[in-house]
């Protein structure tokens, strides 16, 4: 059983971290796009923003368990299967990307108008603004966002576990719920709590160290 | 030279913020824009580099109309106009050194060149001991000096200051004003200051633009502003002449005296003009109020006096006094 628990933990971590990575790599740029479009005075940008905003909202509003089912064809296309932790990464990432984008956009919006004005009056290009002002000034908050994202993803892996994804969630359902193994369920929960605590602790530490 | 022509700004909700604004900032000049809150000062400042796009009018920097430029041209010309913002707007993730280096980084200067220029700038701003500190560790004055250093480093043609002293204590205010004056004198850069503090105008400005309800109410030299607009300033800003008028009038009436307001300006302010003329015509003078202030380039004074109107030389006294001071006003 110990071996099973270790394996399940590793599976959970694998699903969480890989989909978090996708969310960071795609969600933050999407957040940047949303923010920059909202700041632009061009009419076409405003339209583009509305479309993007709408798409993000749609993906954010579909309950995760339904999303898993909805995108089964995509999952099969990308991974060749719909069972197992690798397959679960597809719906996890698709749920996490718009979530991350929204979190990032919120952090960017919290940046003072003054910094935007300063950058514009210095004659910065959009890229210079993003790389020299936007990202460094929100770095600490972004770490906090990523921490939140990872912890949310752990919860989501448990939901994915219910439909064959593996990991701690699946183990809790298979052993604890279907075979009445209370001990497995408790160990399972203890591991989940520990994971969350460690990630939150580390995230807060890093975020604070970036706050100047 | 910066020239503002027929500038209008109307917000989307039809609020008319700036109305037919016209004025010039000559090369090397320090111009102060003064007005009460809501007069449109900050909106005006923001339109000058098109942070706020005006509804109509022209903004000419050395003859180039900023409102006619495309995005890329505008981006380049903005580097010639530096702004020191009211709240400094330093980047919290960067040290003093890195903040000052920012305008050079976007110019793609080499690391070595940046280091040289920034160190030189920090040296002249007395910021070397604080160069590795983050903005959150700085005092108000240090933040302001960092913001000024950052504005100067790109060698702009004109520097705009938005309420540069509003968050500073009196001593730091004086230091910052001295610094602005020094920058103006050593670099001959034009400077435009938006403020609601009369002291800023008095101490360092050559010219005033008085903004009232979105209009330019007055443009001209500082001393003229204080003389021409005195009554208005008394009502709107602060009591320039601190005197109990009701008691004064009562006294003047009882003694059948004339009440005069004398305005001094320029070199004669320091000469005993009043004494000389009064002695010549044997007019007894009762001084009720007097003060001398130092404007940037010359002293400026106001005096309220009462004289006996039964003296036969009064007309001559008034005539000669008028010739020797800036202005004599008979109040009754």
Cβ <8 Å between A125 and B105: no
Burial of residue B286, with CB atoms counted within 10 A of its CB: 0-12 exposed, 13-18 middle, 19 or more buried: middle
**What value does the mean pLDDT take over residues A186-190?**
91
Closest CB to B51 among A112, A117, A137: A117
- pLDDT of B241 > 80? The answer is no
Chain B CB contacts of A114 below 8 Å: 85, 87, 89
Q: Does the beta carbon of A114 lie under 8 angstroms from any beta carbon of chain B?
A: yes
CB atoms within 10 A of CB A1: 11
B/e letters for B106-130, b = 16+ CB within 10 Å, e = fewer, are: beebeeeebeebbbebbebbebeeb
- Of the residues A118, A126, A137, A142, the best mutation for testing chain B's interface (the one with the most B CB atoms within 10 Å of its CB) is A118
Gap between the Cα atoms of A148 and B192, Å rounded? 46
User: What is the tens place of the pLDDT at every residue in B47-86?
Assistant: 998 999 999 999 999 999 999 999 999 999 999 999 999 9
Q: Does the beta carbon of A209 lie under 8 angstroms from any beta carbon of chain B?
A: no
pLDDT band (50, 70, 90) for residue B96: very high
Chain A CB contacts of B77 below 8 Å: 123
DSSP string, chain A: -HHHHHHHHHHHHHHHHHHHHHIIIIIHHHHHHHHHHHH---HHHHHHHHHHHHHHHHHHHS-HHHHHHHTHHHHHHHHS-SSSHHHHHHHHHHHHHHHHHHHHHHHHHHS-HHHHHHHHHHT--HHHHIIIIIHHHHHHHHHHHHHHHHHHHHHHHHHHHHTT--HHHHHIIIIIITS--HHHHHHHHHHHHHHHHHHHHHHHHHHHHH--
- Torsions phi, psi for B261 (to 5 deg): -115, 125
CB B128 within 8 A of CB B122: yes
CA distance B144 to chain A (A): 14
Closest CB to A212 among B81, B89, B93: B93
What part of A 39-68 touches B (C-beta under 8 Å)? 41
DSSP code of residue B286: E
CA distance A61 to chain B (A): 34
CB B21 within 8 A of CB B195: no
- Of the residues B89, B114, B163, the best mutation for testing chain A's interface (the one with the most A CB atoms within 10 Å of its CB) is B89
Predicted ipTM of the assembly:
0.85
Closest CB to B89 among A115, A128, A212: A115
Selected residue with higher pLDDT from B108 and A125 = A125
pLDDT band (50, 70, 90) for residue B117: very high
Q: What does pTM read for this prediction? A: 0.85
**What value does the mean pLDDT take over residues B192-198?**
91
- pLDDT of B137 > 80? The answer is yes
**pLDDT at position A179:** 86
List residues of B whose CB lies inside 8 A of any A CB: 46, 49, 51, 53, 75-79, 81-83, 85, 87, 89, 91-94, 102-103, 105-106, 134-136, 154
Give me Rg for the CA atoms of chain A.
20
Cβ <8 Å between A122 and B106: yes
Gap between the Cα atoms of B301 and B80, Å rounded? 38
Gap between the Cα atoms of B42 and B86, Å rounded? 10
Gap between the Cα atoms of B289 and B251, Å rounded? 14
User: What is the tens place of the pLDDT at every residue in A77-101?
Assistant: 999 888 888 999 999 999 999 999 9
**pLDDT at position A118:** 95
- pLDDT of B326 > 90? The answer is no
Cβ <8 Å between B106 and A137: no
CA distance A57 to chain B (A): 28
User: What is the tens place of the pLDDT at every residue in A1-60?
Assistant: 788 899 999 999 999 999 999 999 999 999 999 999 999 888 899 999 999 999 999 999
Q: What does pLDDT average to over chain B?
A: 90
- Of the residues B92, B101, B105, B136, the best mutation for testing chain A's interface (the one with the most A CB atoms within 10 Å of its CB) is B92
Cβ <8 Å between B154 and A122: yes
**pLDDT at position B239:** 61
Chain B CB contacts of A42 below 8 Å: none
Gap between the Cα atoms of A114 and A129, Å rounded? 13
- pLDDT of B238 > 70? The answer is no
- Of the residues A36, A46, A111, A123, the best mutation for testing chain B's interface (the one with the most B CB atoms within 10 Å of its CB) is A123
- pLDDT of B235 > 80? The answer is no
- pLDDT of A73 > 90? The answer is yes
CB B10 within 8 A of CB B56: no
Looking at chain B, which residue has its C-alpha nearest residue A116? B89
Looking at chain B, which residue has its C-alpha nearest residue A136? B93
Share of chain B above pLDDT 70, in %: 98
Chain A CB contacts of B49 below 8 Å: 121
Half-sphere exposure in the Cβ direction for A32 (13 Å, CA): 18
Closest CB to A124 among B89, B106, B134: B106
**What value does the mean pLDDT take over residues B108-136?**
94
Domains in chain B, CATH or no CATH each? 2-237 (3.40.50.300), 245-330 (3.30.70.260)
Cβ <8 Å between A123 and B82: no
Chain A CB contacts of B76 below 8 Å: 123
CA distance B13 to chain A (A): 17
User: What is the tens place of the pLDDT at every residue in B2-16?
Assistant: 999 999 999 988 899
Helices (H), chain B: 41-48, 71-78, 96-105, 111-124, 140-153, 170-187, 198-204, 222-228, 230-236, 245-255, 273-280, 314-324
- Torsions phi, psi for A186 (to 5 deg): -65, -45
Helix axes A43-61, A85-110, angle to 10 degrees: 130
Burial of residue B235, with CB atoms counted within 10 A of its CB: 0-12 exposed, 13-18 middle, 19 or more buried: exposed
Q: Does the beta carbon of A36 lie under 8 angstroms from any beta carbon of chain B?
A: no
Among the listed ranges A94-103, A122-131, B146-155, B195-204, which one has the minimum average pLDDT value?
B195-204
Helix (H, G, I), strand (E, B) or coil at B53: coil
**pLDDT at position B240:** 62
Q: Bridge-partner residues for B8, per DSSP?
A: B56
């Amino acid at each position: 059983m110990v071996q099973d628990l270790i394996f399940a933990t590793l599976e959970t971590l694998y699903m969480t971290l890989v989909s978090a990575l996708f969310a960071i790599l795609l969600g933050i740029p999407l957040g940047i796009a949303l923010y920059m479009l909202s700041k632009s005075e061009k009419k076409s940008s405003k339209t583009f923003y509305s479309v993007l905003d709408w798409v993000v909202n749609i993906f954010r509003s579909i309950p995760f368990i339904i999303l898993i089912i909805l995108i089964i064809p995509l999952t099969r296309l990308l991974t060749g299967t719909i069972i197992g932790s690798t397959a679960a990464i597809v719906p996890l990432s698709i749920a996490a990307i718009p979530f991350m984008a929204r979190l990032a956009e919120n952090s960017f919006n919290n940046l003072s108008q003054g910094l935007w004005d300063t950058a514009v009056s210095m004659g910065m290009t959009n890229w210079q603004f993003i790389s020299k002002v936007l990202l460094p000034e929100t770095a600490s908050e972004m770490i906090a966002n990523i921490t939140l994202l990872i912890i949310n993803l752990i919860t989501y892996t448990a939901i994915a576990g219910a439909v064959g994804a593996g990991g701690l969630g699946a183990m809790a359902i298979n052993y604890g719920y279907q075979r009445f193994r209370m001990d497995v369920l408790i160990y399972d929960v203890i591991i989940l709590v520990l994971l969350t605590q460690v990630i939150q602790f580390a995230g807060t530490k890093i975020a604070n160290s970036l706050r100047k | 030279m910066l020239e503002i022509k027929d500038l209008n700004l109307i917000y989307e909700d039809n609020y008319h913020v700036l109305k037919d604004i016209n004025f010039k900032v000559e090369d090397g000049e320090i111009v102060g824009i003064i007005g009460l809150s809501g007069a449109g000062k900050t909106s005006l400042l923001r339109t000058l580099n098109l942070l706020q796009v005006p509804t109509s009018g022209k903004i000419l920097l050395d003859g180039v109309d900023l409102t006619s430029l495309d995005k890329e041209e505008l981006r380049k010309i903005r580097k010639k106009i530096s702004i020191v913002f009211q709240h400094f707007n330093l980047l919290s993730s960067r040290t003093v050194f890195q903040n000052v280096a920012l305008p050079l980084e976007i110019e793609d200067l080499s690391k070595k060149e940046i280091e040289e220029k920034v160190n030189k700038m920090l040296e002249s701003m007395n910021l070397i001991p604080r160069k590795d500190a983050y903005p959150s560790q700085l005092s108000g004055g240090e933040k302001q000096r960092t913001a000024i250093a950052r504005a100067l480093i790109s060698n702009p043609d004109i520097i705009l200051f938005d309420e540069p002293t509003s968050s500073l204590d009196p001593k730091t205010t004086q230091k910052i004003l001295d610094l602005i004056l020094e920058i103006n004198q050593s670099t001959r850069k034009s400077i435009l200051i938006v403020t609601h503090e009369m002291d800023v105008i008095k101490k360092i400005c050559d010219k005033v633009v008085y903004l009232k309800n979105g209009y330019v109410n007055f443009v001209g030299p500082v001393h003229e502003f204080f003389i021409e607009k005195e009554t208005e300033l008394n009502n709107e800003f602060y009591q320039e002449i601190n005197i109990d008028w009701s008691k004064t009038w009562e006294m003047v009436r009882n003694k059948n005296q004339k009440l005069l307001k004398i305005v001094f300006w320029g070199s004669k302010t320091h000469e005993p003009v009043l004494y000389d003329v009064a002695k010549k015509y044997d007019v007894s003078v009762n001084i009720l109020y007097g003060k001398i202030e130092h404007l940037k380039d010359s002293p400026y004074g106001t005096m309220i006096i009462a004289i006996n109107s039964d003296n036969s030389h009064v007309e001559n006294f008034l005539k000669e006094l008028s010739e020797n001071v800036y202005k004599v006003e008979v109040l009754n």
